[in-house]
Structure 1
């Protein structure tokens, strides 16, 4: 009776087949990887170069502006271009003055009005930010919590408007100016670039236009009225203060006294 015979592969042949299958799979993976790798590598390379250039340029930019007057800001350019397109007077009123030539009443007024923890914080008032976040969650009118440092970072280096990209950049530039500029320089820049009226920037320009004298001669009441219009300088007027502006001016003057007067900002 014939026996059924089954041919079995020797161990060496099975091993060779496994190697062949594995080699084929590896070849497929290599082809797929090679097709993607150059593109991914190129994107990563460009991203790294962009970040290096961005950090280098921004660092140099901040270092230079620590020492030179800031005559023009993106906000000034935006206001001028808008006025030209709308057919209005597009003249910008701005006059840079060193910190020592500006009344410390003006410096104290903006701190009392905008950012009372300015001498202490490192650029951010987290308690105020959390309070504004909770307020905004209720769906009411959007409330900001920007410190003077954040406002300077936005006005000097960035653009107006709300977006996550701008906010991230604002945090970055705020950190840089806090580390590189220091408090006195930040306050000096704020007093020179903050919008204080229609087409008007800085307390020197505001003092000359609305009070008829330089910022060095601003008294407490005048300083408080300038600070009172800062939340909305195109809506409120220093020259013709509304009842709201007058009420806010008185409130700011009480805050200035409560902080201890000019001594509060003496050691910035």
Structure 2
């Protein structure tokens, strides 16, 4: 009996230690990522399994303002206003889940950064819960421009290990990301929810229609994305 109790206490200590380490990783790495350019969990998974990874880092000022506005208006319209989590959208998502209605995710750009840097790919309620405190912490530590810069450089933008906007823009259009016009920028933005299937270089009518809507919204409401612009403004 004493041996079993001792084994149980040892297992409990190991569990507590493992949880403490998992908590410490983002607490330590997030400030480090203010100055060190990170790689994502999906990139690490591909490296470990011998699959190709293409990623060239681009500073945020080397990326078209049209793309920044298109991504924010497409993925997270309140990015410049919230503290990492859009609680209104998240509350509506929880209500839909509890009522058995279709859910859309409600992940902000900051929550997506948290997931890609520190969590796993498979969607689950547990992962969504963990994204919330991580996103709040990231938003507390990092300025919005740095969060967007990391997002632009770790997002998956193609089916063959293309990560980051440089690889995505080159694959789709053979262009540097600073040379994107409204059509190419909006097509790259609407590719993000499913980059393994959607091809901005060969868009179907549905993708073209959605990209057109995003481009129109970004031109009308681009000031909502000014927090990621040079000097606090986007040149649209």
TM-score normalised to structure 1 length = 0.74
Q: Aligned ranges for residues 215-234 of structure 1 at < 5 Å?
A: 215-234=177-196
**Alignment match, 2:105:** 144
1:67 pairs with 2:35: yes
Distance 1:223 1:146, change over 3 A: same
Is residue 103–residue 215 contact of structure 1 (8 Å, CA) maintained in 2?
yes
Q: Deviations over 1:44-92 (max 9, x none)?
A: 766665555444443221121221112x32112445667x6xxxxx422
Is residue 80–residue 225 contact of structure 2 (8 Å, CA) maintained in 1?
no
**Alignment match, 1:9:** none
Distance 1:262 1:205, change over 3 A: farther
Is residue 75–residue 155 contact of structure 1 (8 Å, CA) maintained in 2?
yes
**Alignment match, 2:118:** 157
Between the two structures, name the one with larger relative contact order (CA 8 Å, sep ≥ 6).
Answer: 2
In the TM superposition, residue 137 of structure 1 has moved relative to its aligned partner by 3.9
Is residue 136–residue 143 contact of structure 1 (8 Å, CA) maintained in 2?
no
Is residue 135–residue 143 contact of structure 1 (8 Å, CA) maintained in 2?
no
SS at structure 1 position matched to 2:145: helix
In the TM superposition, residue 243 of structure 1 has moved relative to its aligned partner by 0.8
**Alignment match, 2:164:** 202
Q: Which sections of structure 1, spanning at least 5 residues, go unmatched?
A: 1-33, 85-89
- Aligned-residue CA RMSD in angstroms? 2.9
In the TM superposition, residue 164 of structure 1 has moved relative to its aligned partner by 4.0
Which of 108, 118, 140 pairs up with 2:79?
118
1:108 pairs with 2:69: yes
TM-score normalised to structure 2 length = 0.83
What is the number of residues matched between the two proteins?
A: 229
SS at structure 1 position matched to 2:157: strand
Q: Which sections of structure 2, spanning at least 5 residues, go unmatched?
A: none
Q: Aligned ranges for residues 19-58 of structure 1 at < 5 Å?
A: 52-58=20-26
Q: Aligned ranges for residues 5-24 of structure 1 at < 5 Å?
A: none
